[in-house]
Amino acid sequence: MEATRILTEKDVSLTGLCAVSPLSYENYVLKGGYVGLTKAIDSLGPSGVRDAVKASGLRGRGGAGFPTWKKWDMVMRQAEKKRYLCCNAAEDEPGTFKDRYLLRSNPHQLIEGVLIAAFTVGANEAYLFINCRYEEERAFMAEALRISKAAGHWGEGSASGITLTICESPGSYVAGEETALLEVVEGREAKPRQKPPYYPTMHGLYGKPTVVNNAESLSNVPFIVREGAEAFQAVGLPSSPGTMVFTLTGDVNVPGLYERPLGTSLRTVIDDCGEGIKNGASLKAVFPGGPSVPVIPASQVDLRLDFDGLKAAGTGLGTGAVIVMSEASCMVQTAIQYARFFANESCGQCPPCKLGTVHISEILEKIEAGQGTSGDIKLVRQSCEMVKGRGQCFLLTGAAIAVESILGHFRHEFEEHVGAGRCPLSSQPVA
Ligand SMILES: Cc1cc2nc3c(=O)[nH]c(=O)nc-3n(C[C@H](O)[C@H](O)[C@H](O)COP(=O)(O)O)c2cc1C
């Protein structure tokens, strides 16, 4: 078994840098805080920062793993000079709470990351978009903002000249989608925009070029600028450098947040970080990156958690939400749980999304209740196939992928439900 690689003081560490008294500006500065911002403004300049981030290989931690520098570069190339930056800490996907922890454990690091990114893309206004349920974290961030402003890092007359504003996300999953986020910042409902033509890098906030980056992506930026791309590359894999804050949940003994180098195996995260499966049971399945990426069976537990390796294996790193299911889990119930989540969270703007997710949930519920037929199993598969790619955002496709992958790997469980006329693992049908 691969040994857990414990991060040391010298490593890229998002969570460890300022774990003691995270609001302390002095503590942050003692550990190299704000060196990156000063270096960006005084010596590297926008193109120098972009090149350092490019060389570092940093990829987005918000779900898609898009190279961070590329998004910045798209905005930098726009003729329009009024630009915006949004930091995405909406975070409402099941099993994900890493950004919450970063807001709490290292707010100055995130502020510095936002300021460096805004400076690089030429945005003199940036928004911190934070889940409305994260009340304490928002208050924490507000205090850190007050302190960093007083220290002269942002605001009118500061060296950066950037203004920062906290914006409350309504606490719905879809509000984290980048164009829905822009709608909320502009004061409207969280409903994704049509892409094309409304790509944020071209027509973003108030129609201006806008970068939307995840809070964890931005938290990585101060280290890269301060220590250089090579230092960042020294941890993780060449194609997936750095660390990721994995949110480990489900049937493990010690669920929680674990920052590990990218490329750490799933088995290491489950067995060493999570101390194995609850009640000595064996592993059945894992969502390695949240429920919007395909589930994998226990036989694939030696896969490494990195962007390209998981993609090649037919799944994805997503948000790094590792959701573990033991042999005691009913996979039809698991499918219902996520299908219902997506149905409830669908904003209703695209009929195939609301109707499709509700329809899929209803057939699954029929199967779980023991009233399904083999035709219903086929219908679940066909419905997933039919709705994929038909919504304005990825929510509908993510829903279809979750259900389809569960059915793909655990079809026998669906057939057992139909054959037995009941759930073999439960005496109670799901409510
Ligand atoms: C339905 C939906 C919800 C999303 N929720 C979040 C979220 O809460 N936080 C986040 O950073 N990205 C979320 N994303 C991805 C964002 O649209 C966007 O890709 C991301 O913020 C980009 O940041 P990154 O390039 O730094 O990863 C979501 C996407 C979809 C389709």
pLDDT tens digits, 395-405: 999 999 999 99
Q: State whether 272 and 363 are in the same domain.
A: no
Look at residue 2 and tell me if it is in a domain.
no
Q: Which of the pair, 366 or 6, is modelled with greater confidence?
A: 366
Look at residue 4 and tell me if it is in a domain.
no
Q: How far is CA 334 from the centre of its chain?
A: 21
State yes or no: pLDDT of 1 exceeds 50. Answer: no
Among residues 300, 326, 352, the one where a domain terminates is 326
Q: What angle do CA 144, 113, 118 make, to 5 degrees?
A: 105
The region that residue 191 occupies, defined by phi over 0 for left and psi between -120 and 50 for alpha, beta otherwise, is beta
Contact indicator for 265, 304 with CB cutoff of 8 Å: yes
Ligand 1 pocket, residue 213 CB under 6 Å: yes
Q: What confidence score (pLDDT) does residue 291 get?
A: 94
Whose CA is closest to atom 14 on ligand 1?
177
393 CA from centroid of ligand 1 (Å): 11
Residues 6+ apart with CB under 8 A from 24: 18
Q: How far is CA 151 from the centre of its chain?
A: 31
Ligand 1 pocket, residue 22 CB under 6 Å: no
Structural domain harbouring 353:
331-420
Look at residue 392 and tell me if it is in a domain.
yes
Q: What confidence score (pLDDT) does residue 269 get?
A: 96
Among residues 207, 233, 259, the one where a domain terminates is 233
Q: State whether 151 and 202 are in the same domain.
A: yes
**Number of C-alpha atoms within 13 angstroms, CB side, residue 72?**
30
Ligand 1 pocket, residue 64 CB under 6 Å: yes
pTM, to two decimals: 0.95
Q: What is the CATH number of the domain that holds 373?
A: 1.20.1440.230
Q: What confidence score (pLDDT) does residue 431 get?
A: 46
Q: How many domains does the chain have?
A: 3
Q: Which atom of ligand 1 is nearest to the CA of 169?
A: 8
Region 189-200 average pLDDT: 92
Ligand 1 pocket, residue 173 CB under 6 Å: yes
pLDDT digits (tens, 9 = 90+) for 93-116: 999 999 999 999 899 999 999 999
Ligand 1 pocket, residue 214 CB under 6 Å: yes
Q: Hey, which of 58, 88, 349 would you mutate to test ligand 1's pocket, going by the most ligand atoms within 8 Å of its Cβ? A: 88
Residue 61 one-letter amino acid: R
pLDDT digits (tens, 9 = 90+) for 263-291: 999 999 999 999 999 999 999 999 999 99
Q: State whether 201 and 276 are in the same domain.
A: no
Residues 6+ apart with CB under 8 A from 400: 356, 360, 383, 384, 385, 387, 388
257 CA from centroid of ligand 1 (Å): 19
pLDDT digits (tens, 9 = 90+) for 125-170: 999 999 999 999 999 999 999 999 999 999 999 999 999 999 999 9
Ligand 1 pocket, residue 201 CB under 6 Å: no
Q: State whether 414 and 299 are in the same domain.
A: no
Whose CA is closest to atom 22 on ligand 1?
213
431 CA from centroid of ligand 1 (Å): 31
Q: What is the CATH number of the domain that holds 300?
A: 3.10.20.600
